[in-house]
A and B are shown apart, each in its own frame.
Chain A
Amino acid sequence: MLILECPYCGVKAEETELSAGGEAHLKRFGPGSADDDFENYMFARKNPKGVHFERWRHSYGCGKWFLAARCTATLEVFGTYPAQTGEPPADLQAKIKAKRPDWKGY
């Protein structure tokens, strides 16, 4: 059972209270962009076996979207943070690096 702490309302919510939203920090490419960029944005995913940054919605709670760093191989949660960020916070990245020295970084 996956438990994530919503960074907005502070509730520790288990997964039935949340909705998964896929890979986080995708750079969006719209009409007029190059085919490669659009294809990558729409379909290609990192899908790592290890540290994964992803979007979640606290759908049966406050309703807000937030982001989480989680290991897909062990389900360990490294932390959650608000969705209004372009990349994972530096302190979270440092924390993951300390726990997973092999991690290639964001």
Chain B
Amino acid sequence: MKRYSVFAIARQAMSYHQGWERAWRAPEPKKEYDVIIVGAGGHGLATAYYLGKNHGIRNVAIIEKGWLGGGNTGRNTTIIRSNYLQDSSAAIYDKALQLYQGLSQDLNYNVMFSPRGLLMLAQTHHEVRGYLRTVHANQLQGIIKTEWIGPAKVKELVPIMNIDGPRYPVLGALYQAQGGTARHDAVAWGYARACSDMGMDIIQQTEVKGVRTEGGVVRGVETTKGYIGCKKLGIVVAGHSGQVADMAGFRLPVEAVALQALVSEPIKPTIDVVVMANTVHGYMSQSDKGELVIGGGTDSFNNFTQRGSFHHIEETLRALIETFPIISRLKMLRQWGGIVDMTGDRSPIISKTPVGNCFINCGWGTGGFKAIPGSGWAMAELVAKGEPGPLAADFNMWRFREGQFIDESVAAGVAH
């Protein structure tokens, strides 16, 4: 793989940029691999990357039903933060944040990580108390820098915000200065390029139709391109986790719902932080193209349609217009939905399964993008060693049975 650099651009400029090689290969599957990862989204590709980088396992295939990064990785609102309430969550999300900080250099691919600061607005007294609790928890955890800021400081950071709305006044905010956004596609592409460079096979347009086991241990997967054997299997498929788990013969405490987002027409720079308003189920940031990227809420019912119900975005925008009066005349360009896998405690599952040598990483629900590097790091350790490391241990799928929830549904209350 040729390194990307300013010199490479200069060299290519001499030949009208005709000489760039493909970022990743498109190989035919081999008969067998040491590890097969199902799902070439951010989490799957990151898992493969850290398997190679941290554990030296490079005979790996990543199998993808559609195209890489075409699921929730390409559909989220790209928010990155780590100010979670529970210790286990804070540890893994902050690992991810730290990896994001050096990811462009690590992958030699610009993921456009932009730590522009992130505000979580408190618009009810209940939220004020909740976020103060999070600030205190983060202080005790000692790794995450968050602070509580008052309405005046919020207004200073986001001048376009109306903080005295009659329905949704801004009472303050939980502020994480290190939070921000990254280019979602570039995260998938950067990992894919690095994986391909290590000799891993990314096999797109290939659907897994079955999981072959023998004596309770995984042997391989049936795909639309035939049977592929493997010593270990990692299932990292987000919305369809339940379907692939069903093929392997176990059930998950997961339900799939649609989560929506939308973008406005591009405008001049108006807002240089990420704002989350959980009471009204709306998040907003401005992309480098100038579009306002707005995230909405989830449907209340099981859904695989990647659309979502219209009334959710209606409600989100209705509320956001009070807080950001400037957006009231903006046209919205695109709306879409992604299928997210929700667990009972709104925390992910990174776990061994009832099937031997079969591992699962799912349940990231509405907040998976921010976790991609940390999730891949922890999942790779689990797959390589067969046992979870400290980051993944608490996220096992048996925590529900034991009542050891990592309860972020109380902390976030909504999509996070």
Query: What's the least CB distance linking B249 to chain A, in Å?
Result: 13
Type the 1/0 row for A44-65, where 1 means its CB is closer than 8 Å to any CB of B. 1111110010100000000000
- From residue B159, how far is it (CB to closest CB) to chain A in Å? 34
Chain A residues with Cβ under 8 A from B310's Cβ?
1
Where the two chains meet, the residues of B that have a C-beta atom closer than 8 Å to any C-beta of A are 240, 242-243, 251-256, 300-305, 309-311, 344, 400-401
> Cα distance A48–B401 when bound, in Å?
22
Which residues of A lie under 8 Å from residue B242 when comparing CB positions?
A: 45-49
B304:A73 contact, CB within 8 angstroms: yes
Q: Residue B309 contacts which of A15, A49, A72, A74 (CB distance < 8 angstroms)?
A: A15
Provided the pairs A2-B309, A15-B309 are in contact, do residues A54 and B302 lie with their beta carbons within 8 angstroms? yes
Find chain B residues with CB under 8 A from A19 CB: 300
Cβ distance B200 to chain A, nearest Cβ, rounded Å = 28
**Is the pair A45, B304 in contact by a Cβ cutoff of 8 Å?**
no
- Determine the residue in chain A with the shortest Cβ distance to B344: A43
Asked whether A20 lies within 8 Å of B253 as measured between CB atoms, the reply is no
Known A-B contacts A39-B401, A72-B302, A75-B305; the reply to A15 vs B254 at CB < 8 A is: no
Neighbouring A residues of B243 by C-beta, 8 Å: 49
Tell me, yes or no, whether A16 is within 8 Å of chain B by CB: yes
Which A-chain residue is minimally distant from B341 (CB atoms)? A47
Q: Is A44 in contact with B302, judged by CB distance below 8 angstroms?
A: no
Q: How far is the CA of A41 from the CA of B380 in the complex (A)?
A: 31
Residue of A nearest to B345 (CB): A43
Question: Is A54 touching B240 in the complex (CB atoms < 8 A)?
Answer: no
Q: Is A35 an interface residue (CB 8 A)?
A: yes
Q: A67: shortest Cβ distance to chain B, in Å?
A: 13
CB distance B302 to A35 under 8 Å? no
The answer to whether A42 has its CB under 8 Å from any CB of chain B is yes
Checking B240, B253, B301, B311 against A45 with a beta-carbon cut-off of 8 angstroms, the contacting residue is: B253
B254 touching A2 by the CB < 8 A rule? no
When distances are taken between beta carbons in the complex, the residues of chain B under 8 Å from A20 are 300-301
Which chain A residue has the least Cβ–Cβ distance from B315? A16
Q: Can you list 22 residue pairs at the A/B interface with Cβ under 8 Å? A: A1-B309, A1-B311, A2-B309, A15-B300, A15-B301, A15-B309, A20-B301, A22-B255, A35-B401, A40-B251, A43-B344, A43-B400, A44-B251, A45-B254, A46-B242, A46-B251, A47-B254, A47-B256, A49-B256, A54-B301, A72-B303, A74-B305
Q: How far is the CA of A49 from the CA of B254 in the complex (A)?
A: 13
CA separation between A86 and B344, bound complex, in Å? 25
When C-beta atoms are compared, the residue in chain B nearest to A71 turns out to be B304
A72 near B344: Cβ-Cβ < 8 Å: no
Q: Which of B255, B311, B344 contacts A15 (CB 8 A)?
A: B311
Q: Does A44 lie within 8 Å of B253, measured CB to CB?
A: yes
**A42–B256 alpha-carbon span in the complex (Å):** 17
Contact (Cβ within 8 A) A52 B302: yes
B314 to chain A, nearest CB (A): 10
Q: Are A47 and B255 in contact (CB under 8 A)?
A: yes
Assembly CA distance A76 to B300 (angstroms): 16
Shortest Cβ distance from residue A14 to the other chain B in the assembled complex, whole angstroms = 9
Contact A75 B400 (CB under 8 A): no
For the complex with contacts A43-B253, A47-B256, A70-B301, 8 further pairs of A-B residues with Cβ separation under 8 Å are: A1-B311, A2-B309, A20-B300, A39-B400, A45-B251, A49-B240, A49-B304, A52-B302
Q: List chain A residues, Cβ under 8 A from B255.
A: 22-23, 45, 47
Min CB distance, B281 to chain A, in Å? 14
Q: Nearest chain A CB to B209's CB is how many angstroms away? A: 14
A75 nearest in chain B by CB position: B305
Interface centre among B242, B252, B255, B302 (most CB of A within 10 A): B302
How many angstroms from the CA of A74 to the CA of B302 in the assembled complex? 11
- Report the minimum CB–CB distance from B106 to chain A (whole Å): 36
State how many angstroms separate the Cβ of B10 from the closest Cβ of chain A. 50
Chain B residues with CB below 8 A from A72, complex form: 256, 302-305
A48 to B252, CA, bound (A): 12
Minimal Cβ-Cβ distance residue in A for B310: A1
Taken together as a complex, chains A and B put the C-alpha atoms of A49 and B240 apart, in Å, by 8
A16 with B311: in contact, given A35-B401, A42-B400 (CB under 8 Å)? yes
Chain A positions 7 through 48: 1 when the CB is less than 8 Å from some CB of chain B, otherwise 0: 000000001100110110000000000010001101111111
Contacts of A74 in B (CB 8 A): 305
Which A residue's beta carbon lies closest to that of B243? Answer: A49
CA of A70 to CA of B305 in the docked complex: distance in angstroms?
13
What CA separation (Å) do A48 and B254 show in the bound complex?
Answer: 11
